[in-house]
Amino acid sequence: MINYSKLNRFIYTKFIYPTLFFALRLDVKTSWNLLSEIIEDKPKLEGHIKNKIIELTNSDCGSSLADVERKLFQMSVLTKFDYSKKSKEINYKGLIKRQTSGSSGTPNTFFYTKECISNQMAVRKYAYRKMGIDIGFKEARFWNSKNINIKSKIQNAILNRSVFTFLDNEMEQISKFKRMNADYIYGYSSLILNSIAVFKKHKILPPPVKAIICTAEAVTDFQIEQISQFYNAPVAVEYGCTEFDIVAYKFGSKPYKIINPNILIENLGNKSVITALDNTKLKLIRYDVGDEIAFELDKKYYIAGDNITELLGRTQNRIVKLDDGREFHASEFSKLMSTINNNIFPIHLFKVVLKNGGIIDFNIEPQDPSDSTDQNKALVVTYLKEGLPTGLTPVVKFQSIDLNSDGKHSYFSTEMQS
């Protein structure tokens, strides 16, 4: 009897994707061979990074590591606005284009050499193989499907993926998902969590998948555990951005680990800047991505293999400013929700809304609707009062959490009037 899933994987990994890479003139094989050689060999990795810094800074080949580092760190930090001005002076012929959505406030268009894209594909291959899958395996993409057109349908077919939201036509989406026999799920954690609620609502078990990869938005450890238990599959969280593609991966409950050997990250207090070591055309050097990242060790800079203890995300939208001038990061709310999840009842989704007068609405959707009791509400208020800064008043509401129009979920917002 023919195993159609194995046949599908064979066709896409051995023929379609290699043909696609060849047509685009991407040398993914060479990039993969280099990554495999250096990614877990620290001396080779450090040698690779030194050579790349020499190339970026136009230093002498005989320069010491200290000298080339000094030359790099003397360069000014590049903001998104600075890049936008600089990019207009570059000849884009032969480069590959990507655009950002402008989530940090400044939409931009970025261009990459074929070598750069090949390196990014090799990093993705490395991450996927850690999960027991590979590039070309059948993907169920949990993504915004509003802009699906003929072009995107053809693209999805070539890339061996189908798009789901489970936001409407629930039974139709369930049937399509089960017929697909996907190897893995990739997409927004909020849509993946929403699929769990849909399957439970209709009392249907999900089809088996080999792995699940959450990307593009924040997800807590208790939500990772919920996803893993429901789908009976390992879960990873991908951290990256349009500018550099994949930066780090979090496998299960382990900390994020940088897995891209062609980047260098500096921690400058309340912001992190990244240097692309392989994008010699655009020279994304000391680029401010707008994220705040906390690292396990205190070092001058961080490379592949280093651990990230906390990914605080966009500083622009995540700093809580109170009426009296005090400030703290919205990630503190996630920590409180984790405490409640572990000590009172399992949480599905939550939304925190800051209002004037120190009032904070905590809108919580329990995994089990029967947990929406007055007794639990009183317990949650007690935990919140103990964990929040003084002077804040928590208002707890048990309710279903609606996702944004693009299928994403923002766990924090402010309605404070200045």
Instruction: Compute CA distances 83 → 218, 224, 340, whole Å.
Output: 26, 35, 43
Q: What is the structure's pLDDT at 308?
A: 93
Enter the DSSP assignment of 256: E
Q: What is the structure's pLDDT at 241?
A: 86
Amino acid identity, position 88 = K
Instruction: Write phi, then psi, for 35 (nearest 5 degrees).
Output: -60, -45
Nearest CA to 124 among 234, 3, 262, 16? 262
Map residue 5 onto helix, strand or coil. Answer: helix
Nearest CA to 236 among 227, 194, 181? 227
Q: To which CATH superfamily is domain 4-315 assigned?
A: ANL, N-terminal domain (3.40.50.12780)
Instruction: Compute CA distances 50 → 241, 287, 342, whole Å.
Output: 24, 18, 45
Q: What is the structure's pLDDT at 319?
A: 66
CATH top-level class of 322-414:
alpha beta
Write down the H helix ranges in 12-139. Answer: 17-23, 28-38, 42-57, 65-73, 80-87, 114-130
Per the CB < 8 A criterion, the answer to whether 188 and 142 are in contact is yes
Amino acid identity, position 332 = E
Q: What does the alpha-carbon distance between residue 204 and residue 173 come to, in Å, rounded to a whole number?
A: 12
Per the CB < 8 A criterion, the answer to whether 108 and 100 are in contact is yes
Enumerate the domain spans of the chain.
4-315, 322-414
Crossing angle of the two packed helices 331-343 and 221-231, in degrees rounded to 10 = 50
Map residue 115 onto helix, strand or coil. Answer: helix
Q: What angle do CA 26, 137, 200 make, to 5 degrees?
A: 140
Residue owning tokens 């849909």 = 198
β-pairing, 393-398 vs 359-366, is parallel
Instruction: Write phi, then psi, for 79 (nearest 5 degrees).
Output: -85, 170
Map residue 287 onto helix, strand or coil. Answer: strand
Tokens read off for 131: 């999960």
Per the CB < 8 A criterion, the answer to whether 140 and 209 are in contact is yes
CB neighbour class for 141 (10 Å; exposed up to 12, middle 13-18, buried from 19): buried
pLDDT in tens, the chain (418 residues): 778 889 999 999 999 999 999 999 999 999 999 999 999 999 999 999 999 998 888 888 777 888 888 888 998 898 877 777 766 666 677 777 777 655 555 567 778 889 999 999 999 999 999 999 999 999 999 987 666 778 888 999 999 999 998 988 899 999 999 999 999 999 999 999 999 999 999 999 999 999 999 998 888 899 999 999 999 999 999 999 888 899 999 999 899 999 999 999 999 877 889 999 988 777 788 998 888 888 989 998 999 999 998 887 654 556 677 767 777 767 788 888 888 998 899 999 898 888 887 888 999 999 999 999 999 999 999 999 888 888 888 999 999 888 766 666 778 877 766 5
Map residue 23 onto helix, strand or coil. Answer: helix
Instruction: Compute CA distances 141 → 287, 331, 401, whole Å.
Output: 29, 27, 21
* H-helix or E-strand spanning residue 264: strand 263-267
Q: What does the alpha-carbon distance between residue 136 and residue 116 come to, in Å, rounded to a whole number?
A: 20
